[in-house]
Amino acid sequence: MITPSIGTTELYKQLSVLLKTDTPVFLHGSPGIGKSYIVNDIAKQEGLEIMDVRLSQLDAVDLRGIPTIKEHQTVWMPPIFLPTDAKSEGILFLDELNSAPLSVQAAIYQLVLDRKIGEYSLPKGWRIVCAGNKINDKGIVFKLPSPLSNRMVHLVLEAKFDDFKLWAMKHDVHHFIIGFLAFRPDLLSSEIPSYAETNPAFCSPRAWNMLSHILKNTTDIHSIHPIIYGTIGYAAGVEFIAFVNVYKTLPDVDAILAGETLGIPNEPSALYALCAALIERYSALSQAEHLLAYSKHLPTEFAVMLIKDLIIKDEEIAMLESFDAWMERYGDYII
């Protein structure tokens, strides 16, 4: 039986519980899904320090420390990445755990269970979070030894478009990408290519965010086709480029925001593209009145999607009288 996966929004809730109860956790997820980002972000939200340790780069001796002589006895000097301040609070993030040599994995048995390694003790205010790729991700991954595996709670993370969209809107991800993934959410994360594939690129939240930065600094998307293929893979790249071409057929976005046109595309791909473009271009509460009126001419699915996204960008629209009227019509469709 396969354990159900969770999305990034749910992960924040589960991690919060585990941090409060001082329970070690292992996050399983494909490359580029956001494991490291989320752990660092929740540390920031909780006001905690964070020590990010990449175990795949260490040897077993690096964890216990270098031996030295003190009062005619051998003692081990703990490495600098292990916190020593008894009053501090933070997250010891042991990343790439299942990519580390088995000797390193064995060396942290005691640290994970007893919060000790040799003479070193982890300060009381620190929590342990581990992470790594899944075994079927075609990376350098070892199966966790059962004694170590049984010392932690295991959470399986999956890329989900609704979670990514919420993050993308708050972090100004290019509207081409938000619109395309609304149309093809299955391409947020794609299967990792086989070793025989000459282009190893594949879709992941990290890859889409990387492409967003490239697009923001490019005036002609048709001049960077090889870069697109090399960022998200050839098949997804072809579809993405075709989707971007749909933008040429869209009604005037600025005219819609100004309440000057009611042009409505016919194709679903164009509707996804238009909604993303409207949210990206929106900049003033006065435009919300026009979007609320315009949405009533869209198919219900797109009307609801447009205004839900608008609320994420500008919560003040909920104070408008026209929004109350809109809710009377569409409130049953809001989940």
Q: Is 120 helix (H, G, I), strand (E, B) or coil?
A: strand
What is the spatial distance between Cα 327 and Cα 318, in angstroms, rounded to a whole number? 10
Look at residue 38 and tell me whether its pLDDT is greater than 90: yes
Backbone angles phi, psi at 28, to 5 degrees: -100, 130
pLDDT score, position 301 = 93
Q: Which helix (H) or strand (E) holds 166?
A: helix 161-170
pLDDT in tens, 224-268: 999 999 999 999 999 999 999 988 788 899 999 999 887 898 888
| Predicted pLDDT at 191 | 83
Residue 139's pLDDT band, with cuts at 50, 70 and 90, is low
Task: Judge whether residue 74 has pLDDT over 70.
Answer: yes
pLDDT reported for residue 193: 79
Collapse the DSSP code of 131 into the 3-class scheme (helix H, G, I; strand E, B; otherwise coil) and give the result: strand
pTM: 0.81
Residue 161 structure tokens: 């478009």
Q: Indicate the pLDDT class of residue 316, thresholds 50, 70 and 90.
A: very high
**Residue 152 gets which letter from DSSP?**
S
State yes or no: pLDDT of 300 exceeds 90.
Answer: yes
Per-residue pLDDT at 140: 66
pLDDT single digits (tens) 181-228? 999 999 999 888 776 678 889 999 999 999 999 999 998 888 999 999
Domains of the chain: 5-157 (3.40.50.300), 161-333 (no CATH)
